[in-house]
Amino acid sequence: MHDFEPGMVPWRMPFTLGHENAGWVDSVGDGVSTVAEGDAVAVYGPWGCGACERCRLGLEGYCGNQAAAPVISGGGGLGLDGGMTEYLLVPHERLLVPMRPRRPTVT
């Protein structure tokens, strides 16, 4: 990212890269109902506002209200800390795509 002059990308530096993410849910926040701890998930790349018509149709990459998105024209690893770290904080469960199976239990 050192090759970019200020203003060339719409994000503030520094942040952790990694926008193509998958893993297991470590913990969930209050009100989360579509995933549980231990679930295997992929993380949807672009994060929109979640409320506009496009986002409600699942087209977050075409969000019509980027000013209300967690980061303009981005998401985890695209302007906000991404998955090239041990944990990735995802702001809403709608951005998780359930995969199966669950994480194996270590005995």
Domain ranges for the chain: 21-99
In this prediction the pTM is 0.79
* Diameter of the chain measured on Cα atoms: 51
What confidence score (pLDDT) does residue 13 get?
A: 76
Q: How many CA atoms lie within 13 A of 41 on its CB side?
A: 25
What confidence score (pLDDT) does residue 21 get?
A: 93
Residues 6+ apart with CB under 8 A from 17: 77, 82, 84
What confidence score (pLDDT) does residue 28 get?
A: 96
Q: Which CATH topology does 21-99 take? A: Quinone Oxidoreductase; Chain A, domain 1 (3.90.180)
Average pLDDT along the chain, 107 residues, taken 10 residues at a time: 73 83 94 94 92 93 92 84 91 91 66
Q: Is the distance from CB of 91 to CB of 70 less than 8 angstroms? A: yes
Q: Which two tokens stand for residue 59?
A: 């087209």
